[in-house]
Structure 1
């Protein structure tokens, strides 16, 4: 099945479902024009696009697996951030939320920033402000990311985070706000379906961080670079990221030991705030 055939097959599934294109596009977090281009074979859909469409159409697991296998034939997809900005970063957050709603397992490695699902509103704003958004755009994107965080409380999902110790010390906010961000990490780490780990600076290492990445259900990896978001779906490549995640998880600390480390850094921020 090629690109045109995949689009035609998706259109046939939608028509068989009795759902209008506008309703499917809205639920799949894309424009009706984009859905039309996919269905008519004029644009190659990203794997995430196909998955959202199939989820809305409520197809059988067998059909979903077959169609996703075709979508993954193009193993790596890159979308420039300028395109997301044109679309609206809040729309990107809505797309991620739709993807996370259908996953069972998330594994996230982050050597640079507090992961988005763990960020406080103040931290989110600090991350987004260099992007030059208007106040209205900033408000909508912050709100959309906070809305995504509801997935943390869905006990049908397992969420695993591994961050490096410098993430906890990187001063994107004033000391008091950084202390609040670290409190947030400690609080979320106590949720029964959430595992937060920290790779301490004094731990012997067998690997180098490189960059952040997110693995969802052993099926898709998302990598954020300076200019674009890269999506990897070839199982051979996905397995490389799973192995890298496991290596860092194996040298990280979790549970009370992790919370002791985070709270120690938090207390240092608080003492700094209190210093005349």
Structure 2
């Protein structure tokens, strides 16, 4: 089944359900024009798009499983960051919020930047304000949407696991005081019963390379952050590669009381830099 056939099949399912396109699009958290392009084969849907459409239509579990298998077979989707920005960064945060509302397990590896779900508002602003082409209104709306998205951290029906590398904590792309605030934020969040945070220290032998950031959701899909695009991988064999990579980094990461002491040490270093800078 190619993307045109998949889109046509989704249209047939929607029409058979008796639901209007606008209603399905609204429930699937996408525009009516996007749904129309998917149904007419003009736009290749991601596996997540298909999942949301099928859920909105209300198909049986058996039908859903069949179409999700077809969707994963045709998709490794890359969306350029410039297109995400053009559509609205705050809208992208809303879409991620909808995805995270449906998941039960998130595993996130980040070797370069503090994960968005852990960021303080000050860190968000400092990162976003680096981009001269973002207006103050865009920055404000994106921060607001990301803060709203962070409510998933307090949903105990979900498990959220984060592994970052030590350079994330020491790369001063933001002022030392902002980074010190991030240390306190991480310590606080690490106490939540459903949140696990690990840091891979620079010291000690390593058995893998932190190539790039990635997010695994429910063993179903992986989002890979490259310089130019967000790439979504859904083939089960490829997903398994990322799960194994995440597990390897987890084994060599600091957690619990050891993590707390490590973060406090980094925070004290940052505060000292601020005082002597």
For the superposition of Structure 1 and Structure 2, which TM-score range results when normalised by the shorter chain?
Answer: over 0.9
How far 1:45 moved relative to its partner? Answer: 0.9
Q: Does 1:209 align with 2:210?
A: yes
How far 1:275 moved relative to its partner? Answer: 4.3
Contact 2:109–2:162 (CA<8 Å) still a contact in 1?
yes
Contact 2:187–2:260 (CA<8 Å) still a contact in 1?
yes
Contact 1:8–1:40 (CA<8 Å) still a contact in 2?
yes
Q: Deviations over 1:109-162 (max 9, x none)?
A: 100011110001111122222332111111111111111111111111111100
Contact 1:110–1:163 (CA<8 Å) still a contact in 2?
yes
Q: Does 1:124 align with 2:124?
A: yes
* Correspondence for 1:243: 244
Q: Does 1:56 align with 2:65?
A: no
Alpha-carbon separation, structure 2, partners of 1:252 and 1:53? 38
1:109-148 matches, cutoff 5 A: 109-131=109-131, 132-148=133-149
Alpha-carbon separation, structure 1, partners of 2:229 and 2:267? 33
Contact 2:127–2:174 (CA<8 Å) still a contact in 1?
no
Q: Deviations over 1:12-38 (max 9, x none)?
A: 333344432223223323221110111
TM-score w.r.t. the length of structure 2 is: 0.94
> What is the count of residue pairs matched by the alignment?
276
Runs of 4+ in 1 over 6 A off after TM superposition: none
Structure 1 unmatched runs, 5+:
none
How far 1:9 moved relative to its partner? Answer: 2.5
Contact 1:84–1:92 (CA<8 Å) still a contact in 2?
yes
Secondary structure at 2:231 match in 1: strand
Alpha-carbon separation, structure 1, partners of 2:191 and 2:72? 36
Contact 1:110–1:213 (CA<8 Å) still a contact in 2?
yes
Q: Deviations over 1:71-92 (max 9, x none)?
A: 1112411111111111111111
Contact 2:76–2:232 (CA<8 Å) still a contact in 1?
yes
Alpha-carbon separation, structure 2, partners of 1:150 and 1:16? 36
Contact 1:29–1:91 (CA<8 Å) still a contact in 2?
no
| Pairwise CA RMSD | 1.6
Structure 2 unmatched runs, 5+:
none
Secondary structure at 1:221 match in 2: strand
* Correspondence for 1:26: 26
Of residues 142-151 and 11-20 in structure 1, the stretch that sits farther from structure 2 once superposed is 11-20
Contact 1:203–1:251 (CA<8 Å) still a contact in 2?
no
Alpha-carbon separation, structure 2, partners of 1:19 and 1:98? 21
* Correspondence for 2:272: 271
Contact 2:2–2:74 (CA<8 Å) still a contact in 1?
no
